[in-house]
Amino acid sequence: MFIMGFRIFSQLTEQRWVRAGFSILLAVGTVSGITLMQQQRLQQQRLNAITPQQQEQQEALHVKSLKYLPSQGFGFNNLIADWTFLRFVQYFGDEKARQATGFNLAPQFFDVITKRDPRFIETYIFSAGTLSYELGQPEASIQLLDRGIAALDPQKHPGAHTLWTLRAFDQLLLLGDAQAASESYRMGGEWAAQSSDPVMRQDAPILQRYSEFLKKDPDSTIVRFGSWNTVYAQAQATGNAKTQSRARNELLLLGAVEAKDSEGQTIFSLPAPKPKPKPTPSPASADPKVTPPAAKQTDGQPAAVPVPSSAPKSSPDVKPAVDPATNTAPRSKPTPTVQTTESSSSDAQPSIQSTPTLNNATPATPNS
């Protein structure tokens, strides 16, 4: 009996200790969870307390520290470029901070990225859009593009002609240098023709036509429309609302018509040019040797003045000239018809729908 009672007491004691231990663990876990939540809340409050200017200073230190890494990057330059690009995407997407401080760190971001990996083609779309249209520094954008052009091979890197196209946009739309833009379009066409990607090769004839049109007409509406249309598509793809709004305004100023496609996407098109009326010269202008008869006096009254071809036929004060020999009005010579030959609009300019695109930004724009 004693042994049995001891066992029962031991079992009860053991159960109590287990329950006590479980209660203690539960209490500790609850306190730890509450503490962790409080710490996270305090940390978030500290972050919210940081002003956009302070965030800008902290980000500047991060970017500056990357410049002190060895040029070889310990063999991880591509990884450094990718990581820096992701940091820029975060920086770019903080709309409240960018409204307060702008994009002043963008040149430093892209300087690091293009030095570590100048063949990172996709990043140049962001650099051109930010430096050229947000900061108003197309020259700085062209310097970065030239760095990439020097490192790329059109036969090995599909889409490398995109950099020449972006270069032409800066030169034509922002710097007003149509001659330099024509050369960039020409080089872009040559690089596109060498691409291993058949889709990219489709841009070659379009860019070559742009180059030719700028040589003949530096203010070509077609080329400017195609350029701004691509800028609009790229801004839409990268989420750059400010640049997108500017491109839209420029397109409307060029006379573009804004509409929606079947998927609800905004598209722009130029109205078809109106045909020019065929000129019909007057008889006097057709035959310079013909001169109107001189006015003569008849019975003290002035002779009637011949009716010019431009005068209204129903004018009550104008009478036809009378031939004194026959006392009849002379027969008027038939008006010669001059036929003119006009070239069709398709021969004079490229198709409006053929707008070179960059890196498949949207389905409605060209490839690059």
User: For residue 13, what pLDDT is reported?
Assistant: 53
Summarised one tens digit per residue, pLDDT across range 165-199 is 999 999 999 999 999 999 999 999 999 999 999 99
Taking the C-alpha atoms of residue 284 and residue 311, their distance in angstroms, rounded to an integer, is 13
**Which one of 230, 246, 269 terminates a domain?**
269
End-to-end CA distance of the chain: 94
Shared-domain flag, residues 28 and 123? no
User: For residue 69, what pLDDT is reported?
Assistant: 87
Shared-domain flag, residues 128 and 34? no
Summarised one tens digit per residue, pLDDT across range 84-120 is 999 999 999 998 899 999 999 999 999 999 999 999 9
Taking the C-alpha atoms of residue 135 and residue 131, their distance in angstroms, rounded to an integer, is 5
Shared-domain flag, residues 41 and 176? no
Please count the other Cβ atoms lying within 10 Å of the Cβ belonging to residue 230. Answer: 23
13: enclosing H helix or E strand: helix 2-49
- Model's pTM, two decimal places? 0.65
The domain of 4 spans 1-49
Of 167, 269, 197, 162, the residue nearest 226 (C-alpha): 269
Q: How many domains does the chain have?
A: 2
**% of the chain residues with pLDDT over 70:** 61
219 contacts 177 by C-beta, under 8 angstroms = no
User: For residue 298, what pLDDT is reported?
Assistant: 45
Query: Residue 297's beta-bridge partner residues?
Result: 302
Q: Is residue 9 situated within a structural domain? A: yes
Amino acid making up residue 270: L
**Which one of 220, 240, 269 terminates a domain?**
269
**CA distances in angstroms from 233 to 11, 169, 261, listed in the order given:** 77, 13, 14
Shared-domain flag, residues 144 and 7? no
Shared-domain flag, residues 151 and 235? yes
Q: Is residue 310 situated within a structural domain? A: no
Q: Is residue 99 situated within a structural domain? A: no
Q: Rounded to the nearest 5°, which phi and psi values hold at 13?
A: -65, -40
Summarised one tens digit per residue, pLDDT across range 19-47 is 655 566 555 566 565 555 666 565 555 55
Shared-domain flag, residues 45 and 122? no
Shared-domain flag, residues 14 and 138? no
Taking the C-alpha atoms of residue 120 and residue 115, their distance in angstroms, rounded to an integer, is 10
Please count the other Cβ atoms lying within 10 Å of the Cβ belonging to residue 337. Answer: 9
Q: Is residue 312 situated within a structural domain? A: no
Q: Is residue 18 situated within a structural domain? A: yes
For residue 218, what is the DSSP state? T
**Which one of 49, 67, 83 terminates a domain?**
49
Q: Is residue 129 situated within a structural domain? A: yes
Q: Is residue 101 situated within a structural domain? A: no
Q: Is residue 112 situated within a structural domain? A: no
Among 162-166, 213-217, 305-309, the range scoring the smallest mean pLDDT is 305-309
Shared-domain flag, residues 132 and 257? yes
Shared-domain flag, residues 230 and 145? yes
